[in-house]
Structure 1
Amino acid sequence: MKKIALLAFAAGLGFAFAGGVDNKTNLNQGYMRNPSRNTETLRPEAVFYNIGGTAFMNDGLYFELGNQFVLKNYADKLDGQKFEDDENVYFYPNAEVVYKKDNWAAFFGFGVFGGGGTLDYSDGTGLTSLALKQGMASAVKAKVTAAVMAGKLPLAQSQAYAQKLLEQLSSHSLEVYSVQLGEILGASYKINDMVSVAAAGRFMHGEQNITLKCDGLKSVNGGSSKIGYESNGYGFGGIFGVHIKPWNTLDVGIQYQTITKLKYKYDDLTGAYASSFLNADEGDNFKNDLPAVLNLGVGYTFFDKLNASMSFNYYFNKQATIESPIDRSEYDYDDSWEIALGADYRLNEQLSFGTGFSYGKQGAKSDVNNVFSPVLDNFVIGAGVEYSPVKLVTISGSAMYCKYFSEDYKKAGYTMELSKDVVMLALGVTVKPF
């Protein structure tokens, strides 16, 4: 069973909407409204997408809170049988604080940079099902043969009984939780009316948990039907940005996020068989780095009301070490990229609208992908509204539809069709006391 099981479990655990293999682009509710964010200079969300732009914000103190609601369906299909996760995510928060004075700005941000929630496969996945059936086949065969030899089971019924018994013993559920939270702290400086520079540090702390429940495992798992692990990891990286404003209506944003090296430690193993299955003990480590990212953007403002922009993100997946939590083997993802176009229109002092779309080319291969959370090329479109009931408060609401293109994933002689559908909704509020 272990060979196939390794393939089933050994996947990076990226959820929600990922621009790269695991890097998140939906860091703020503003991304739902308009996915082209890399020239932001008006809102606190610049903390996530264009830190150099904070130096061009209006003077004052900004507080922003937001939350996303991720409605998702992840699926894999093997031999005509479909395995699905429909566990929605209702708490996906972000927070930003910016203080801008003259040529300086200081800022803080909190958000979900990787992972993002729970996957609940009530019938497991295609590969976990295959692993359990193959692992239990010999035991079922021996039990059926003994029943036939003892005269307790007619030979003509043995095949049907064996299949029924195998289905019962391999029936299982799988729950996966993964999240990488981060805090950004930094500052920016406007050198002159055309150029600003910025730097920030980002502290990351991640958690990964997996629990597989199968009654058929009791005989090899100390009488327990559960096997799994809990792990935590920490890392630190840097963010550097430059914002260029050749003239008042043109914005160019350049930002580089360094690789964040994350080393996870197994804090707790569940089940007597867990140590053997994982080839690890409590206290051992595995790596799951968050790749470096280059963010580029250009935007132009027409008639002081309409801002149109284009953003490009490139993810250096090959630089990162992403290991299987099972056997510490490395995944060989290619680099990935996405391009976005969008516009924001201010109708008046109280009301503005935004919309945009993006296309993402992921770094998965036919034999390198994620059974739990498929890494798929995608097209997304979003729209939203911002409303200021009073001068110092802005309320925002937005929605985004993500169209993923299903792909075949080939492993150990088997082919699985991976697919997913995601709709995201978001709410946010910005307060500027002065």
Structure 2
Amino acid sequence: MRIKNFLPFFASAAFAGGLMHNTNQSADFVRNFAQDASTTNSAVYYNPAGTAFADDGLYISTHMQTVWQTREIETDKFGDYEGKSFVPVMPSLLVNWHHKNFALSSGFFIIGGGGEAKFHDGLPLIDQFLSGTIQKQAAANPRLSQIMSAYKITDPTKLYEAEFTGKQYVYAWQIGASYRIHEMFSAFLGLRVNYAYNSYEGSMKASDLTLKLNNENLNKMLTKDLLSCEQTGWGFTPIASIGFHYKKFSAGIKYEHNTSIEMENETDQIDDAVAKFLPQFVDGEKSDNDLPAILSIGVSYAWLDWLRTGLGYHHYFDKFADYPQGKDSDLDGDEHEIVFGVEMDVIPQLTISASVQRTMYGLADEYLSDLSFVTNSWSVGGGLAFRFTDYLQAQIGYMETIYEDYNKNDNGVKKTYDRTSHNIAFGLDFKI
């Protein structure tokens, strides 16, 4: 059993984007993924140089998302497993102050992670580990061996129930400035400060079958906390962007440098067997948890006064980042994304939109495990924006990600990985 992929699994709790990044940072994105050439207030995150093309004034956007996901693993030996993740509130704040050719922008985001994943029935790898440990104990403990033989217990997983919960958040604050160099060109420089927080809890207890055996020593052996660990770390992201805007056409290029984050453990509880098997969770241990560099390129065009389309490309430099336990070396390549969106003004106050995103990871069997899996996917999104006045707009959007099944053979166990993901976003945009 291998659980060295442990950290990235929870890092992808609520992502729309890379293995480690969360790119769904506004209701604008949820209803229309093609934001890479934006000149509205969503540009604070997606096209920072585009903030220089705004009219003079102060723009404030407060957005909130609700995210729910499942992760499913089907096996030919241990049955099926399902983990659930729910994020009731994932906020974002985007602010831009524009004066003449100059703009100062800032934003608060949950740039990575974003939720809690719970496996109430454990995981195949956990069952492999615990059942193997019990079998070794039975071989060295005649009393335990006699009990298992007497009750014809050939599957040690029937003796216990395991539960695992993990969560990760990467909070980020971004600040930068843009300048319109020419009527059609702008440039941006900025910095994002990132604070990463992880938490992991694991436990097991004697099953109903074991309790019926009425053996106090056996019950005690199978009922215990396995892990209680928190990890924290800091990192800084330099950001550069250039923009172009002329009449009906806009374009943007953004580069985010690799963010180096080193996590340090504060472990309150770790079982001796778990500590030997997962030394990366021992108190005081450190591990890499980078956010990889991103290059995004986008264009948009207004075909008619009421019809606009956008196209974008994203490249995540995963192979150049340092992931936990060296998982970056297990990837076959970097990640690529293509997005397309369309917007239509039904009436001057109301805009409806729809979009599609194709995400392709550089996956390999060595990277995916029960505790760390994401697969190539298609995402669809749509929604509307309503302008009450020139100074107030409301938005609502929904997106769903359809993941492809991934099959692998893990030490003789056939497994199929699958996921589901849904987002609802609400937003208010103000101009002062």
Q: TM-score, normalised by structure 1?
A: 0.89
Aligned residue for 2:93? 95
Aligned AA for 1:16? Answer: A
List runs of 5+ in structure 1 lacking aligned partners.
none
Taking the TM superposition and a 5 Å limit, the aligned residue runs for 1:310-321 are 310-321=311-322
Instruction: Show the counterpart of 1:215.
Output: 205
Q: Which residue of 1 aligns with 2:55?
A: 58
CA distance in 2, matches of 1:146, 1:171: 18
Q: Supply the AA of the counterpart residue of 2:279.
A: N
1:33-78 superposed Cα distances (whole Å, 9 cap, x missing partner): 0111101002x21111100110011221111111111121111122
Contact conserved, 1:308 with 1:343, CA < 8 A, in 2? yes
User: Which residue, out of 152, 159, 163, partners 2:154?
Assistant: 163
Which residues in structure 2 correspond to 1:254-273 (within 5 Å)?
254-273=253-272
Indicate how the Cα distance of structure 1 residues 313 and 60 shifts in structure 2: closer, same or farther if over 3 A, else same.
same
Determine the structure 1 residue equivalent to 2:210: none
Question: 2: distance between equivalents of 1:287 and 1:7?
Answer: 13
* Cα distance in structure 2, aligned partners of 1:399 and 1:259: 30
Identity of aligned residues (%): 24
- Whether the aligned pair in 1 keeps the contact of 2:306 and 2:345 (CA below 8 Å) is yes
Q: CA deviation at 1:285?
A: 1.0
8 Å contact kept, 1:140–1:162: no
Contact 2:15 2:112 in 1 (8 A): no
Q: Is the 8 A contact 2:339 2:355 kept in 1?
A: yes
TM superposition shift of 1:367: 2.1
- Runs of at least 4 residues of structure 1 off by over 4 A? 141-148, 216-221, 328-331
Name the CA shift for 1:415/1:17 in 2 (closer, same or farther; >3 Å).
same
CA deviations 1:9-28 (Å, max 9, x no partner) are 46543211342212122121
Structure 2 residue aligned with 1:173: 163
Higher strand share: 2
Greater CA drift, 342-351 or 397-406:
342-351
Distance change >3 Å, CA 220–CA 315, structure 1 → 2? farther
Contact conserved, 1:8 with 1:128, CA < 8 A, in 2? no
Is 2:134 aligned against 1:136? yes
The Cα RMSD (Å) is 2.4
1:7–1:127: 8 Å Cα contact kept in structure 2? no
**Per the alignment, do residues 97 and 11 of structure 1 end up closer, same or farther by CA in structure 2, a change over 3 Å counting?**
closer
Q: Measured at CA, do residues 159 and 366 of structure 1 come closer, stay the same or move farther in structure 2, by a change above 3 Å?
A: farther
Q: In 2 relative to 1, CA 91–10 (structure 1 residues): closer, same or farther, beyond 3 Å?
A: closer
2:247 aligned counterpart, secondary structure: coil
Match of 1:242 in 2: 242
**Residue in 1 aligned with 2:294?**
293
TM-score by length of 2: 0.90
Task: Find the aligned partners of 1:289 and 1:191 in 2 and give their Cα distance.
Answer: 33
Matched position secondary structure for 2:87: coil
- Structure 1 counterpart of 2:227: 227
- SS of residue paired to 2:347: coil
- For 1:307, the equivalent position in structure 2 comes to 308
One-letter amino acid of the structure 1 residue matched with residue 390 of structure 2: K
CA contact (8 A) 1:398 1:426 kept: yes
How far residue 83 of structure 1 moved from its aligned partner, in angstroms, is 0.9
Indicate how the Cα distance of structure 1 residues 188 and 341 shifts in structure 2: closer, same or farther if over 3 A, else same.
Answer: same
Tell me, what secondary structure is at the counterpart of 1:215?
strand
In structure 1, what residue type is equivalent to 2:241?
G
CA distance in 2, matches of 1:110, 1:102: 25
**2:153 alignment partner, SS class:** helix
Does the CA contact (< 8 Å) of 1:8 and 1:131 recur in 2? no
Tell me the secondary structure at the aligned position of residue 335 of structure 1: strand
Give the corresponding residue for 2:413.
Answer: 414
What is the Cα deviation at residue 375 of structure 1? 1.4
Match for 2:227: what amino acid? I
Taking the aligned partners of 2:289 and 2:320, their CA distance within structure 1 comes to 12
Query: Residue 277 of structure 1: CA displacement?
Result: 4.2
- CA, structure 1 residues 263+98, in 2 after alignment: closer, same or farther (shift >3 Å)? same
Partner of 2:42: 45
Q: What's the secondary structure of 2:174's corresponding residue?
A: strand
| CA distance in structure 1 between the aligned counterparts of 2:183 and 2:240, rounded to whole angstroms | 19
- Matched residue pairs, number? 416
| SS of match in other structure, 1:371 | coil
CA contact (8 A) 1:11 1:371 kept: no
DSSP-derived class of the 1:236 partner: strand
User: Is 1:189 matched with 2:189?
Assistant: no
Q: Distance in 1 between matches of 2:369 and 2:427?
A: 31
